[in-house]
Chain A
Amino acid sequence: MIDLLTFGNLINTTLVFSTALIFAALGGLFSERSGIVNIGIEGLMVFGAFAAAVGTHYAEEAGMGASAPWIGLLTAVVVGVLGALIHAVATITFKADQTISGVVINFLATGITLYLVKLLFDGAGETPLLANRLAKLSFPDIASIPVIGPILGTGLLNSYPTTFIAIILVFVTYYVLYKTKFGLRMRAVGEHPSAADTVGVNVNRMRYIGVMLSGALAGLGGATITLTTTGLFSHTTISGQGFIAIAALIFGKWNPLGIFGAALFFGFAQAIRNYVQLFEWSASIPQDFILMLPYVLTVIVLVVAVGKSRAPAALGEAYDPGKR
């Protein structure tokens, strides 16, 4: 039987895997809620992961020590926004096909970042390993409490600061989207842009804000992976997480709380792979099937429980004020 401490660790690993997905999927949410498809989340995460590694590296060289990762995080946000700006200009101002533009972002991101890595670090394929990464918060006092200690102390609270930021952002996003004038306008622009225009909402400005927020958040998501898991940026740092985030966005039905649930589910399915191996019966299951588990679980849940999810009505259409 699984003991409490293992259970606490399982929760902890789930949170580590979920954090980047929460950031990136929330990013996708802002863009798509304003009516702009963002298949480029993967590329924006690549930009973020790269910027975090480079920003932290130079902050370390400037002698910033343990606070260097925070500079890296900030760099990732800025670079993520700049990357998203390409998408915004193409799709909003020049009315380019949104899917195509997103694919282009993915292409440009890997091209530009790896090119720059080679230029900055004398032809190397990856950035130097960072000495300073984000550290997990620790609460030994709480962890030592019986029964709830392992779950609360070891499991939930003993996490990276980015995890807390991500969870707080879920609720902030919910509040902003559903309880503020800004959020109402953003949703209106994604559902019925001409109606929003009629009542005086600047459609294109709202969409620019949505896409740029998605760059900032996806950048944070990519940075999280560099600064908590890999400690450097290479071509393998981001490999498909952006697409899983898009899956979480659709799975969560374009709702911040749904996304939170979906990201936790993906994180849990990833984490449980590591724990299945603790059971004796798992030895009889081929390794490949254990690796497959998160994806199979997702398909089953989608088929059995979730079914159709409704996208924002005006998603994918450039706004043309002259069109009826």
Chain B
Amino acid sequence: MNKFLKWFASDSFIVSLAAIFMGLLLGAVVMFIGGYNPITAYMALLQSVFGSLDGFGEALREMAPLVLTGLAVAFAFRAGMFNIGAAGQVLMGMTGASLIGIKVTGLPAIIHAPLAVIVGALFGGLWAALAGYIKAKRGVNEVITTIMLNWIALFLCNYIVRTFLLMPGSQRSLDVESSSWVSIGWLSEMMGNARVHWGILIAILASIFFYYFLWKTKQGFEIRAVGSNPEAARYAGINVNKNIVKAMFISGVLAGLAGAFETLGVFHYQSIYSSLPQYGFNGIAVALLGMTHPFGVLAGAGLFGMLTYGASGMSFEAGVPSEIIQIVIGSIIFFIAAQGIVRFILKPVYKRKKEKVL
């Protein structure tokens, strides 16, 4: 318990809290300059998230893919790679889940749903592993391959939906079989039909797995070693190439899970996208908000999900353009990254603290 309290008083916790506060404050200033009342706006935001059970449920629903894509990006970061391809991996995850959800019939739900989730996760994992393999074999920078694979995934998934899964006369797939749904029926009913699903639980488990795997296992140690210094890792006898592919695979599995749950838990069908969905960039933002630590990612996704879900309520109730939330999120990440600025502003507070100690 003491440890827990200490953590709350820790430097990084205070700086993060200050960064969030400064981001919200900056957003308020921008709203004020634009002629809006920031207090009404933030109240409307809170109201739409916490004011009703179905609002809260929907905000939770928004969080699930954010946690998973955030973990995906963070995991690759820990292995020294920048996975810009979460969007493509999410799409592949959706497609894997849709294929199983639509084409496979007659299975009991207890098998069908997990199977669809696993295949979606594998699709995402293999898609990311491809970028890892190209990096390991040919030394091609993963930033450029994941960008390209995003677009390839977009058109490939559209092709699969259009050719094999299409709901005639529309821009989407057929509905997935109800036996493959991962919605939590009783909780949905309790929360006014908010589309809550098992994904949020899996996302929390995934962040625990992330922590345990990276910091408590030998394999995780190898991945972190490759991430912090590949040359040293090679010298220590670690197979760097194998770890690159493995890390990208795990990263992709996490993103693929996000896609599978979106299809099986939220939409129950797959759309034909005209451009890349936002999952990838949001995942990067969440990973950075959480300082690439799994539990930080959970907290970051909570904040991000609350702000983006509340933004629509805010623009509806207070008339403030919802884009303001992007400015707020951007500046929070900015202040967390540029801790120098925060410390600079917090300086007087810190000074007093030090004097006390002396």
User: Measured between C-beta atoms, what is the minimum distance from A216 to chain B in Å?
Assistant: 22
What are the interface flags for B129-158 relative to A under an 8 Å C-beta threshold, 1 for contact and 0 otherwise?
A: 000001000111101110111011001101
Q: CA A93 – CA B159 in complex, angstroms?
A: 48
B324:A115 contact, CB within 8 angstroms: yes
Report yes or no: B138 in contact with A303, Cβ–Cβ below 8 A. yes
B138 contacts A308, CB within 8 Å? yes
For A295-322 the 0/1 string (1 means CB < 8 A from B) is 1101100110011110000000000000
Q: Cβ of A115 and Cβ of B321 under 8 Å apart?
A: yes
A288 sits at the interface (CB 8 A): yes
In the complex, what residue of chain B is closest to A111 when comparing beta carbons?
B326
Question: B304-358: which residues lie under 8 A (CB-CB) from chain A?
Answer: 321, 323-327, 329-331, 333-334, 336-341, 344
The minimal Cβ–Cβ distance linking B290 to chain A, given in whole angstroms, is 12
- Asked if A236 contacts B275 (CB within 8 A), the reply is yes
Q: Is B162 in the interface zone, CB < 8 Å from A?
A: yes
The answer on a CB contact under 8 Å between B333 and A114 is: no
A8 CB to nearest B CB, Å = 28
Q: Tell me if B147 and A244 are in contact (CB < 8 A).
A: yes
> A294 to chain B: which residues have CB within 8 Å?
151
Q: List chain B residues, Cβ under 8 A from A298.
A: 144, 148
Q: Which residue of A lies closest to B162 (CB)?
A: A288
**Would you call B114 an interface residue if the criterion is a C-beta within 8 Å of the partner chain's C-beta atoms?**
no
- Cβ of B34: which chain A residues have Cβ within 8 Å of it? 115, 119
B258 CB, nearest partner CB in chain A, Å: 18
Q: Does A275 sit within 8 A of B, measured CB to CB?
A: no
B321 touching A118, Cβ below 8 Å: yes
Query: Does B285 reach chain A (CB closer than 8 Å)?
Result: yes
Q: Are B326 and A108 in contact (CB under 8 A)?
A: yes
Indicate whether A250 reaches chain B with its CB closer than 8 angstroms: yes
Tell me which residues across on chain A come within 8 A of B163, comparing CB atoms: 286
Does A240 lie within 8 Å of B151, measured CB to CB? yes
Q: By the criterion CB–CB under 8 Å, are B281 and A106 in contact? A: yes
Instruction: Using CB atoms, name the residue of chain A closest to B145.
Output: A299
Q: Does A103 contact B (CB under 8 A)?
A: yes
| Shortest Cβ gap from B256 to chain A (Å) | 20
Question: Considering the complex, which residues of chain A in the window 212-248 have a beta carbon less than 8 Å from any beta carbon of chain B?
Answer: 236, 239-240, 243-244, 246-247
How far in angstroms is the closest Cβ of chain A from B149?
7
When chains A and B are docked, how far (Å) is the Cα of A106 from the Cα of B329? 11
In the bound complex, do residue A308 and residue B148 qualify as a contact, i.e. CB atoms below 8 Å apart?
A: no
Q: Which residues of B contact A148 (CB under 8 A)?
A: none
B276 contacts the other chain (CB 8 A):
yes
Contact B340 A118, beta carbon cutoff 8 Å: no
CA distance A21 to B250 in the complex (A): 33
B159 to A307, Cβ gap below 8 A?
no
Among A119, A123, A246, A292, point to the contact of B151 (Cβ < 8 A). Answer: A292
Known: A95-B340, A101-B337, A288-B155. A250 touches B330 (CB 8 A): no
Which single member of B82, B331, B338 contacts A96 (CB below 8 Å)?
Answer: B338
Bound state CA distance, A243 and B84, in angstroms? Answer: 10
Q: Report yes or no: A292 in contact with B325, Cβ–Cβ below 8 A.
A: no
Residues of chain B within 8 A (CB-CB) of A286 are: 159, 162-163
* Pair B140/A307 contact, Cβ less than 8 Å: yes
Residues of A contacting B344 with CB < 8 Å?
Answer: 94
Q: Please indicate the chain A residues that have their CB under 8 angstroms from the CB of B323 in the complex.
A: 110-112, 114-115, 118
Instruction: Give A308 to B324 CA distance when docked, in angstroms.
Output: 40
Bound complex: CA A53 to CA B140 (Å) = 37
Residues of A with C-beta under 8 A to B155: 288-289, 291-292, 295
Is B288 on the interface with A (CB-CB < 8 A)?
yes
Quick one: given A289-B155, A291-B155, A299-B145, are A101 and B327 in contact (CB under 8 Å)?
A: no
Interface footprint category on A: 35 or more
B interface residues, tally (CB under 8 Å) = 48
Give CA–CA (A257, B194) in the complex, Å: 55
Q: Which residues of chain B come closer than 8 Å to A103, judged between CB atoms?
A: 281, 284-285, 288, 333
Cβ-closest chain A residue relative to B334: A104
Q: Does A173 lie at the interface of the complex (its beta carbon under 8 Å from any beta carbon of B)?
A: no
Known contacts A118-B323, A303-B134; is A100 also within 8 Å of B337 by CB? Answer: yes
Question: A23: CB under 8 A from chain B?
Answer: no
B41, chain A: closest CB distance, angstroms:
13
Chain A positions 175-222 with a Cβ under 8 Å from a chain B Cβ: none
Q: Are B324 and A299 in contact (CB under 8 A)?
A: no
**Would you give the shortest CB distance from A295 to chain B, in whole angstroms?**
4
Select from chain B the residue with minimum beta-carbon distance to A306.
B140
Please determine whether B327 and A108 come into contact, CB atoms closer than 8 angstroms.
yes
In angstroms, how far is the closest chain B Cβ from the Cβ of A215? 16
Q: How distant is A257 from chain B, measured CB to nearest CB, in Å?
A: 18
Supposing A108-B326, A111-B325 touch, asked if A100 and B333 sit within 8 A by C-beta, the answer is: yes
Whether A6 is near chain B, meaning CB under 8 Å from some CB there, is: no
Closest Cβ–Cβ distance, residue A299 to chain B (whole Å): 5
Q: Of the candidates A96, A119, A123, A295, which one forms a contact with B148 in the assembled complex, judged by CB atoms under 8 Å apart? A: A295
Q: How far is the CA of A101 from the CA of B330 in the complex (A)?
A: 9
**Residue of B with least CB distance to A123:** B321
- Nearest chain-B residue to A235 (Cβ)? B323
Indicate whether B30 reaches chain A with its CB closer than 8 angstroms: yes
Cβ–Cβ < 8 Å partners of B148 in chain A: 247, 295-296, 298-299, 302
Q: Closest Cβ of chain B: how far from A244's Cβ, in Å?
A: 7
For A100, A107, A302, which residue has the most chain B Cβ atoms within 10 angstroms? A107
Q: Which of B30, B152, B330 contacts A295 (CB 8 A)?
A: B152
| List of A residues within 8 angstroms of B331 by Cβ | 104, 108
A102-133 vs B, CB cutoff 8 Å, 1 = contact: the mask equals: 01101110111011001100010000000000
Once the chains are docked, how many angstroms separate the CA of A250 from the CA of B338? Answer: 26
- Report whether A96 and B340 are in contact in the complex, using a CB–CB cutoff of 8 Å: yes
* Cβ-based interface call for A90 (8 A): yes
Known A96-B338, A295-B155; 12 more pairs at CB < 8 Å? A90-B337, A94-B338, A115-B327, A244-B147, A247-B144, A286-B162, A292-B156, A299-B152, A302-B148, A308-B138, A308-B140, A309-B141
16 intermolecular pairs with C-beta atoms under 8 Å apart: A100-B334, A100-B337, A104-B334, A107-B330, A111-B327, A111-B330, A115-B321, A118-B321, A119-B35, A239-B275, A240-B147, A243-B147, A289-B155, A289-B159, A291-B155, A295-B152
